Amino acid sequence: MHEWTWSDWNDPDGGIIRLWGTVATVILPRALRPRDDWDGAAFLLTDEEIEAWDEEDAMEMRSRGALARLAIEGGGDFARMLERMLQLDLVKAGRFPDPEPRRLFHLAEKGELPYYFVEPDTGDEEWVEYLKGCGDEAARLSRIVGQLFARRSWRRALKEALKESSSPKGVAADEADQLSYAAALSTAWWRRSEMMYNPHLRRQRDLRLAARLRGSLASLRDSGISSPVLIVPLAGAWTSDLLAILKEEPEPEHVEALSAEDD
C-alpha cells in the first residue's frame, strides 16, 4: 500500500532516517512532497546514477518522451505500468529520470547539503556475490516459465494493489483518484519485480542498505548536526519492508558523503 506521507525511524544513536515513498516516473504535486526540513539525502543507488540521470536528461531534451517510448517498446511489467500511467491526463507520469529522487538530488546540490549513494559499488565483494545470486535467481527456469503468464500475473498484482490503494489528501478529488491509480500501478510493478528474487536475497539486500543508511546518518552527526534528518526516496511499496529492517538496528556501515564539488 502506498502511504502518502513519509515514515520516520529514530536512530538510537541520534537522528532520523526519513523514508519517503515515491511513485515511479511521476512528478508529485507540491502538496504531497516532503517539507524541506532535512539535512541530507540518501539514494538507494550507486553514484553512477548521477551520470545516468544526466544522460537521460540530455535524451529527453532532444526528444521529450523518448525514454518512455523505448521502455514501452521493451515490454514487460514496467511497460504495462507506463502504458496505463500515460493515459492519466491529470498525472505527470512517464518522466525520466525518475522525477522525485532527481529533484531531491538537485535540492541537495543547490542547498550544499550532503548526499549519499548507499548501494555498494562493484568493487565490494560481498555485494558482487549478492548480485550474482540475483542473476542466478532471475535465470531460474521456473522464473522464465512464469513469464509466460506475465499478463495474467500482472492483472492479479494490479487488482490487489488497487484494493489497498488510498487517495492522497490536499489535492483535487479527480487528481487524487488518478494519483491513487498511478500509485497502485507503481506498487504492482514493484511487487512483480520483487518476485524475481527469493526472500533471502531481498533480506540480504535490505539489511546491507539499512546498515549503510545508518552509516550515512552517522556521517551527518559527525559533521556537527546534533539531530540530523536524512531523507531517503524509494519505491512506496518498499517502505514498510525497509522500515522493518531498520528497526532491527543493523550495525552502521560507513558511507562517504558527496557534494556538488565531487561530481
- Give the pLDDT confidence score for residue 263 in this predicted structure: 57
* CA pseudo-torsion sign 141, 75, 19, 135: positive
Cis check for the bond before 97: say yes or no (omega within 30 of 0). Answer: yes
pTM of the model: 0.95
Instruction: Find out whether 216 and 177 touch, Cβ atoms under 8 Å.
Output: no
Give the pLDDT confidence score for residue 137 in this predicted structure.
Answer: 85
Run means of pLDDT, 10 residues per run, the chain, 263 residues: 89 98 97 93 96 97 96 94 98 97 96 97 92 86 59 93 94 97 98 92 98 98 95 97 98 90 60
